[in-house]
Amino acid sequence: MDLLEPIIKIAVVLGALLTASAIVVLFDRKFSAYIQNRYGPNRVGPGGWMQSIADVVKLVMKEDIVPKAANRFVHDLAPMISITVALTTFAVIPFGDTIPLFGKEYNLIIADVNVGILYILAMTGMGVYGLTLAGWSSNNKYSLFGGLRSSAQLISYELSMGLSLIGVIMIAGTLQIDDIVRSQTGYWFGWIPQWNVISQPIGFITFFVASFAETNRLPFDLPEAEPELVGGYHTEYSGMKFGLFFLSEYANMIVSSALITALFLGGWHLPFAETWGLDPLVLALLKIGAFMFKMFIIISFYVVIRWTLPRFRYDQLMNLGWKVMLPVSIANVLATGVVMLWLTR
């Protein structure tokens, strides 16, 4: 078994993911400053673009404070779970077509698992532990509230998240994410790309909304609602342990934008690029670029919505999850089935 290839892939993806998280943090701050008509970070480096590096150095140097009444072991474990789940989810997402290097074709995916979609859902399910355990182990009522809210929220929205993917699975006929991307590379009538966002608009919207809830972004950031809960589940965290929670939030955002790109926006598919007659290596790099561009669009949406909408009230959150999202995604599955049956007759 050749172990070198996966190790190099993991190193590259991990490095890219961590760097991208730092950049997205800064992008979020800069963009929010632009929306609120202020400057944002502008002192460190040219135009403030080195601010994230300064922040990381600050977090690493900070003292790690553990409350006296906290459960030490679980308090240490919780941020590890959060960051592990956030980073390992990317393993099954293809970020490009095969790339020809040194006379060999390489798949641009770390682990092409047969049950890739289920793996991602299982990983998001595991993500609950990081937040819940952080909230419980701190022995602080605000932290506990944050932890409880996160469990309830994640469990509620996991259902509609899974159900909104069923339509995509039905169309592609596979659980393998690479195959789902490949199933979107055709064209309808010769000019409309067969992206799932066009054939599954309702699934796309419900998945997008659920992904906000799963990544705890505004308007779904109740687990850390700072006006009500101080800092929510991470109230009692300081130093790099807080930094890991912060990092995993942004890493989760990047991973879910990559997932939305792969499942609904055609992944690395660049429409009509295969007819331009380019060198295979250039074409492969262009496709990676297309994937990153689509991810960037989704991330921009996350940022704009964060600074546009106010936070939900708790009962509104639950009503939306159980009374709107769930029925809509079940109806979407039914409608997809009926249309597919009608089309294949």
Partner 1 sequence: MDLYTISFYMFAVLLLGSAIVVVFSRNIVRAAFALMITLLSIAAFYVLMMADFVGIVQLLLYVGGILVLILFGVMLTNRQISVDIREGAIQTIPAVIVTSTIGGILAGAIWSTAWPMREAARSVAATAPVIGEMFLTTYLLPFEVASVLLLVALVGAALIARRERKS
Instruction: Name 230's Cβ contacts closer than 8 Å, sequence gap at least 6.
Output: 142
Helices marked H in 138-200: 141-172, 177-182, 196-199
Q: What residues form DSSP beta bridges with 101?
A: 104
Round to whole Å and give the CA distance between 269 and 274: 10
Q: Is 129 in the site for partner 1 (CB under 8 A)?
A: yes
Q: Is 114 in the site for partner 1 (CB under 8 A)?
A: yes
Closest approach, Cβ 309 to partner 1, in A, equals: 28
Count other Cβ atoms within 10 Å, centred on residue 76. Answer: 14
Q: Is 122 in the site for partner 1 (CB under 8 A)?
A: yes
User: Is residue 132 within 8 Å of residue 141, measured between CB atoms?
Assistant: no
- Out of 16, 22, 44, 126, the only residue in the binding site for partner 1 (CB under 8 A) is 126
**Stretch 163-202: interaction string toward partner 1, x if CB under 8 A:** -----------xxx--------------------------
**Quick one: which segment of 123-131, 249-257, 268-276, 305-313 binds partner 1 (CB under 8 A)?**
123-131
- Out of 70, 91, 108, 128, the only residue in the binding site for partner 1 (CB under 8 A) is 128
Q: Is 40 in the site for partner 1 (CB under 8 A)?
A: no
Round to whole Å and give the CA distance between 43 and 50: 9
Q: What residues form DSSP beta bridges with 193?
A: 187
Q: Is 319 in the site for partner 1 (CB under 8 A)?
A: no
Q: Is 115 in the site for partner 1 (CB under 8 A)?
A: yes
Instruction: Name 235's Cβ contacts closer than 8 Å, sequence gap at least 6.
Output: 138, 140, 142, 143, 146, 229
Q: Is 44 in the site for partner 1 (CB under 8 A)?
A: no
Round to whole Å and give the CA distance between 123 and 104: 32
Closest approach, Cβ 140 to partner 1, in A, equals: 12
The residues that touch partner 1, with contacts defined as CB under 8 A, are 74, 113-115, 118-119, 121-122, 124-126, 128-129, 132, 136, 144, 147-148, 151, 155, 158, 174-176
